[in-house]
Structure 1
Amino acid sequence: MSILHKALASIGIGSATVETKLESSVYTGGDTIQGEVQIHGGNVEQQIDAIYLTLYTTYKGEINDTEFMKKAVIEKVQVTKPLTIQANEEKNIPFSFTLPIDTPVTIGRSQVWIKTNVDIPNAIDPKDEDYIEVQPSALVADILEEISNLGFRLREVECEQAPYHLQSHYPFVQEFEFIPTSGSFRGRLDEIEIIFTSQTPDYVEGMLQVDRKARSLGGVLAEAFEFDESHVKFSVNQSDIPNLHGTLHQLISKFS
């Protein structure tokens, strides 16, 4: 019977199961994620080589005019060394790791989740997935709020495959797309798009794309060939916060 149980466990029947419990489901980049992995032994003793927590998101890419969605790893953490789980035994493995500050914000289509993988030799590994809500860091939140205060409405947020010159440790960038609905930029711009290329708790770098509204035949032609778009790098630190509204207004005005 033991041999049969082992054979069944190797294909996932009567094998150990796993469930990850998080202390919270809402985080900000830079927060500490704490919780525990609960392992429930199956019908037979099993050796566990390692338990990994992998932080994932998805992003949109394009090949030959065909769009696709791809999964990307943001962070991977090993939470235990090799251990043995006895039949019907329960083990709770506590863990703690830092959520990267540049983890995508879960607005719009952007999703982030933690996948738990248990590495069991010669068996189908147990898995568990937990979706989390990720809020923007304080500086990014201030920037997004001030853009809204300038009369822009957030229309779409999406992770997209990063162009070569913007690729860093992730293969994607998160794009925030705004449209002017009031204020001085209404009627002058079609939209603005923002990506954040580098972040620390006290400093943010980004790229701003300003899409001007066509006002003449020449403007229509420029819009058709995307010559109406301007790109500019910007940076914000804590000392800029008191004047952030005026700084962003001046930055956008230069290209509108």
Structure 2
Amino acid sequence: MGIKRLLTRLGWGGATVETVLRDEAVVPGGTIHGRIDIDGGEVDQRIDRLTTGLVVRLQDYSDVEFRRVEAGAAFRVAGGDTVTREFTMDVPWDMPVTVHRGQPLKGMDVGVNTQLHIAAAVDPGDFDPIAIAPLPAQAAVLDALAQMGFDFYSAVVKHGRIADAHAGAGTDRQRSPLFQEIKFYPPSGSRSPLDKLDVTFATDAEATDVILRAETFDGVMADAVKTSTAFTVAHGDATAPDWPALVGGWLATLPARRA
């Protein structure tokens, strides 16, 4: 038995964990519902804590945690037995969007990370992807851009303040140290000076600020000229803005490319 306990502490034959999510997709400000199954290994083990977190996985495969909650107090799991715990977790309003129209946004990887906290043993964690769907205002913006012919090509999550990255289009709704940029190419054949368009959402319980940043390149060796603007839409606003008109009107104000 002593050998089995030693191997268990090193990660062989110990308890394993599997998280089962009940929601195919959630929205910012919503709630994740799930179940955690802990299967006992070859020996009895004491689980000191059971936690689950909501994380964004970056391009270097490091995880940035938005939230972590307790999913179970200390308990014992006997070898060969299964213990199940239910959990719920609120989704922060400023979570990055990972899908649009049912299609994943390239570059986004968000999931629920469950951890068994076991003293003096390897933690058999579990990572389960979950889709973050846009709120109605966010979906309206993305739909409008698709209607206008913009082509999505990637999305990224960055560290920092939106106000610092988008001069002239600050927002006080940002709560986390991260923000998302959803990147588009302009419509094919467009005569606009626009070369790229970034969309950022800053959301709280009352409304969403939509920050748009246009990038234009005036010559091959020149640095990009970045121009930003922002619009606000309340979650309960019954009259949705005419987003194609708003976006098109703003793009029309961009300075023309020099000959």
**TM-score category, normalised to shorter length:** 0.7 to 0.9
Residue in structure 1 matched with residue 184 of structure 2 by the alignment? 178
Q: If the length of structure 1 is used for normalisation, what is the TM-score?
A: 0.82
More helix as a share of residues = 1
What does residue 95 of structure 2 align with? 103
Worse overlay, 51-60 or 84-93: 51-60
Q: Give the count of matched residue pairs.
A: 239
The amino acid that maps onto 2:26 is Y
**Residue aligning to 1:29:** 28
**1:207, distance to aligned residue in structure 2 (A):** 2.5
The whole-number CA distance in structure 1 between the counterparts of 2:162 and 2:75 is 42
RMSD of the TM alignment (CA)? 2.5
Quote how far apart the aligned CAs of 1:76 are. Answer: 0.9
Match of 2:171 in 1: none
Is 1:135 the counterpart of 2:151? The answer is no
Is there any run of 5+ residues in structure 1 with no aligned partner, and where? 61-67, 215-219
Q: In structure 2, what is the equivalent of residue 190 of structure 1?
A: 195
Equivalent positions of 1:40-55 (< 5 A) are: 40-55=39-54
**C-alpha displacement at 1:146, in angstroms?**
1.4
- 1:122-157 Cα distance to aligned partner (Å, 9 max, x none): 111221111122221111111111122233222222
Residues in 2 aligned to 1:189 and 1:165: alpha-carbon distance in whole angstroms:
21
Q: How far is the alpha carbon of 1:234 from its aligned partner?
A: 2.8
Letter in 2 for 1:229: K
Following superposition, the deviation at residue 187 of structure 1 comes to 4.0
Give the conservation status (yes or no) of the 8 Å contact 1:139–1:202: no
Give 1:94 deviation, angstroms.
0.6
Q: Deviations over 1:7-51 (max 9, x none)?
A: 222112221111111113322223321121111112222111111
The Cα of 1:164 is off from its aligned counterpart by: 7.9
In the alignment, residue 116 of structure 1 is paired with which amino acid? T
Q: Would you say the 8 A contact 1:58–1:159 is kept in 2?
A: no
Whole-Å separation in 1 of the counterparts to 2:91 and 2:147: 29
Give the Cα–Cα distance (whole angstroms) in 1 for the partners of residues 41 and 158 of structure 2: 41
Q: Which runs of 5+ in 2 are unaligned?
A: 99-104, 166-173
TM-score between both structures, scaled by the size of structure 2: 0.81
Does the 8 A contact of 1:191 with 1:211 survive in 2? yes
Secondary structure, aligned partner of 1:15: coil
SS in 1 for 2:107: coil
1:210 is matched with 214
- Superposed counterparts of 1:68-147, under 5 Å: 70-106=62-98, 107-147=105-145
CA deviation map 1:94-132 (0-9, x unaligned): 111122232222211111111110001111122111112
Q: Aligned partners of 2:215, 2:124: CA distance in 1, in Å? A: 48
Runs of 4+ in 1 over 4 A off after TM superposition: 163-169
Bigger strand share: 1
Secondary structure at 1:139 match in 2: helix
Q: Is the 8 A contact 1:52 1:116 kept in 2?
A: yes
The question of whether the paired residues in 2 share the 8 Å contact of 1:53 and 1:78 is answered with: yes
Could you tell me how far apart the structure 2 residues matched to 1:109 and 1:225 are?
25
Match of 1:64 in 2: none
Within 5 Å, which residues of 2 pair with 1:219-230?
220=219, 224-226=222-224, 228-230=225-227
The aligned amino acid for 2:215 is: D
Secondary structure of the residue aligned to 1:241 is: coil
2: CA distance between counterparts of 1:142 and 1:81? 42
Q: Percent identity?
A: 25
